[in-house]
Amino acid sequence: MKAPALKPRSIAGRLLMFSGIFVTLALVVAAIVLWLALKTVVREQVDQRLDTQIGALAGAVTRDAQGRITLSAPLDAPPFDRPSSGWYWQIDDGQQRLTSRSLMNGTIDAPPPRQDLRHVLMGMPTSGTGGDRGRRPLYLRQAIRSIDGMTLTITTTAPMIALVGPALRALFWLVPSMLLLGLVLMAGTLWQIRFGLRPLKSMAANIDAINRGERARLPDEATVELAPLALKTNALLAANEERLAATRMQFANLAHGLKTPVASLLLALDEKNDPQGALRSLAARIDNRIKHHLAAARRVMASTDNVASIDLAASVADLHRAISQIHAERKIAFDTDIAKGLRVACDESDVEEMLGNLIDNAFKWATSRVTVRARRDGPTARITIEDDGPGIPPDRLAAVVQPGVREDENVPGNGFGLSIVNELAGLYGGSLVLEANDAAGLRCVLCLPVTVPASSFAGKRPLN
């Protein structure tokens, strides 16, 4: 079983972990190979030195008049002259021995040389290990030569430290430099991952922007690997929007399908066939139920759709054209004071629904004048709609915006619209507050999120 805790969650983590493992393995193998190669070179150098000494000894050894082996020339050049240095030589014919000065009349404790015919014929020395009377480990080269009818075993030695020392010293710089190399490689990997994953990060930022309603789609992706992902994400967004539009259409059709027979029913009922008005109030309740559930459906659908940026001044102008005609008989003056270019991050139809209800309400109650103002207040657009009508008693101001409070009441132009506005505003993180107008009438304050240019968001918000 695999331990899940060891699996990194991020792609960067995975890449980093695997490249870390591979870099470490590669560096360890490289270090071992280098070290072995170095040891071989050192040994070959020592071999060469010892073999040269063997050659010189073989050339200089003779038998004197007494039949003893002797050297025709002194061959105790450094380092063979230093006592106990480990650099020794010894010539042995079975009965007598000739040794280097460094041995100081001692002998080399060496196993018999393992020389076969080939070595003897070629005069090739063989390697082995031994000691100088057990005190110090020695590396030795041995050769068997026949000179003047004698069979001589010539042994030269070097202290083991001469072999191991340079290799050990090499480790002192080999290991740190390998570590440094590893660090540089990992840093490179890290940088490469960051650079390589940058398109992914920018895609995440763009998706975030879509969520915030600053973008409708992902931009065309230049990164080949991400292009299909961007394409598919955009297709998904489009499909979602289509489905949403289709659902909205279905709800509109449902409304149409239900309301037309209700309208017929209300027309069919009159004083004669419904003297108490019970059936008519029942039909009115059906109508209210339809309105209520349509508003609920609308709310649900609005929550997924905030990819928009709506110009408030244009929206209010459109609404004014409609409302002034609906209330053409009332001759209400209409003033607007809307900050130029003020845009809100809400769906167009939702903005129309909210402002339409509020302005229509104001027209219904106004005596002579309706004023709409809008200005930016930090991240929100503050929209006020004022009328000079009778207003609402202070103790009921909070109640009339409550959702569902008056769904069964049949007071014309009261309640339903305000609760819809309140709920829609809430969905966008905004608010609706009713207050008494300074002079007379009602002031509705609607706060909605303003559209912020995407550039000013860069790096300010964490990606979630």
Partner 1 sequence: MRVLLVEDDEDLSGRIAAVLRSENFVVDIARNGEDARHAGLTELFDVAILDLGLPKIDGVSVLKEWRDGSRNLPVLVLTARDGWPDKVASFKAGADDFLAKPFKVEELVLRLRALVRRAAGHAAARLTCGALVFDAQLGTFELDGLPLKLTALEWRVLSCLMLRKEMVVDRRELTERVYDGDAEVDSNSIEVIIARLRKKLGGDRIETVRGRGYMLTSAS
Contact residues for partner 1 (CB under 8 A)?
A: 252-253, 255-268, 283-284, 287, 291, 298, 318-319, 321-322, 325-326, 328-329, 348-349, 352-353, 355-357, 360
Q: How far is the CB of 257 from partner 1 (least distance, A)?
A: 8
Q: How far is the CB of 215 from partner 1 (least distance, A)?
A: 23
Beta carbon nearer to partner 1, 167 or 374: 374
* CA pair distance 142, 114, nearest whole angstrom: 9
Beta carbon nearer to partner 1, 91 or 312: 312
Q: How far is the CB of 380 from partner 1 (least distance, A)?
A: 21
Three-class SS state of 182 = helix
* CA pair distance 429, 435, nearest whole angstrom: 20
Q: How far is the CB of 321 from partner 1 (least distance, A)?
A: 5
Q: How far is the CB of 240 from partner 1 (least distance, A)?
A: 20
The neighbouring-strand residues paired with 311 are 343
Q: How far is the CB of 13 from partner 1 (least distance, A)?
A: 48
Q: How far is the CB of 451 from partner 1 (least distance, A)?
A: 19
Beta carbon nearer to partner 1, 271 or 438: 271
Q: How far is the CB of 334 from partner 1 (least distance, A)?
A: 14
Beta carbon nearer to partner 1, 291 or 369: 291
Q: Are 91 and 167 in contact (CB under 8 A)?
A: no
Residues 6 or more apart in contact with residue 148 via CB below 8 angstroms: 62, 63
Beta carbon nearer to partner 1, 304 or 349: 349
Q: Which two tokens stand for residue 137?
A: 């480990």
Beta carbon nearer to partner 1, 117 or 267: 267
CA–CA distance from 216 to each of 231, 258, 394, 454 (Å)? 13, 34, 42, 12
For residue 302, which of 210, 204, 195, 423 has the smallest C-alpha distance? 423
For residue 9, which of 48, 17, 462 has the smallest C-alpha distance? 17
Beta carbon nearer to partner 1, 223 or 349: 349
Q: Is the torsion defined by CA of 301, 418, 326, 342 positive or negative?
A: negative
361: left (phi over 0), alpha (psi -120 to 50) or beta: alpha
* CA pair distance 386, 434, nearest whole angstrom: 10
Beta carbon nearer to partner 1, 69 or 358: 358
* CA pair distance 79, 85, nearest whole angstrom: 7
